[in-house]
Amino acid sequence: MSTASERVRPVVGTMIGDPAGIGPEVAVRALADGAVHADSIPVLVGSAAAVERALDFTGIKARLRVMRSFEKPSDDPAIIDVIDTGALPDGVLPLGEDTEAAGHATAQWLDELDALARDGSFAATIMGPISTGSLKLAKKLDRVISPTPGESYLVLLTGPLRVAHLTDHMSLRQVIDVISADLVATAVGQLHEAMQSWGIAQPRIAVAGLNPHAMGDEDRLEIAPGIEAARARGIDVEGPIAPDSVFRHCIEGRYDMVLAMFHDQGHIAVKTWGFSGNSVIIMGPPYLHMSVAHGTAYDIVGTGKADAAMMLSAMRTCGRLASGRGFEQA
């Protein structure tokens, strides 16, 4: 078995999230674990002052290396590399509340993260916990990728259960109107290609039905034909499978991924199976882009209560997938 030093590890950029929240804290805690460097070469993007404050809050002993643009990373667990272009003005360091300044800075860091991934500096990226409130104050909410059927998808990961969502923030009435054979076939194809790029040579995909026992008109007239079209392209996909059992099948190892039809169908399964340590893939950009499944948690900033399990999971998973090593086996 190859060691971390023998493998080519990808450079993964992590945006610290809103500087007023727990993002900087969970980022430094995750990096202090030591395991992140086994899977990737990490670099933070954001406010060096916020990262320095997070080190003070957590009591973590690490040296901060501040870069104004991308440079060769230190690749040293004792050093935290952070790219700080000055998006947050000197002397401005919000804490525990939404601010316009934090919204502007967050938007700029997201743009920088995207640019560094597109130019090849980063092999993959992670978005720390952001505040939609701050982004709204700055009128920059459009910087956040919103899942759009046929274009981008939210994928939740928790241990052996991995769930992509055909639709996201839609009413059930809208979901019924949107589902089509073409949309299902497109999504299955995009999942198949993405998983192959992550190191899963023959992805096994299950498609959840929409109705009880997958026996409604939508299952028969739209979802099933979409699955057949994907299968005709050589994709290993099954369904529609009754939504009350398909997630258990994935947990048991029959499938690598489940395609859920709507937000709560997938989210309830994931959050029931496990919460701490979950991570998120946001499919859409032409590179691997991940995030954490929690918010800024303003109420516990600086108290030492912030749990870094989700950020650690995101960092380790991002490194594995970006290097084509697939999901960690449960």
The domains found in the chain, sorted by start residue, are: 11-145+285-322 (3.40.718.10), 153-272 (3.40.718.10)
* 329 pLDDT above the threshold of 80: no
- pLDDT of 276 reads 74
Q: Which of 185-189, 219-223, 275-279 has the lowest average pLDDT?
A: 275-279
| pLDDT score, position 8 | 85
- What pLDDT score was predicted for residue 1? 42
Instruction: Give percent above pLDDT 70 in the chain.
Output: 98
Predicted pLDDT of residue 21: 97
Q: If 0-12 CB within 10 Å is exposed, 13-18 middle and 19+ buried, where does residue 93 land?
A: middle
Cβ-proximal residues to 35 (8 Å cutoff; 6+ apart), any chain:
312, 316
Assess whether pLDDT exceeds 90 at residue 196: yes
The amino acid that residue 93 corresponds to is: L
Asked if residue 175 has pLDDT above 90, the reply is yes
Closest CA to 221 of 209, 236, 238: 209
Name, in order, each residue with C-beta under 8 angstroms of 29's C-beta and a sequence gap of 6 or more: 58, 60, 306, 308, 311, 312
For 241-300, write each residue's pLDDT tens digit.
Answer: 999 999 999 999 999 999 999 999 999 999 999 877 789 999 999 999 999 989 999 999
What mean pLDDT value characterizes the chain?
A: 95
The CB-side HSE value for 305 (13 A sphere, CA atoms) comes to 8
User: Of 152, 145, 156, 117, nearest to 313 (Cα)?
Assistant: 156
pLDDT band (50, 70, 90) for residue 2? very low
CB proximity list for 220: less than 8 A, separation 6 or greater:
none
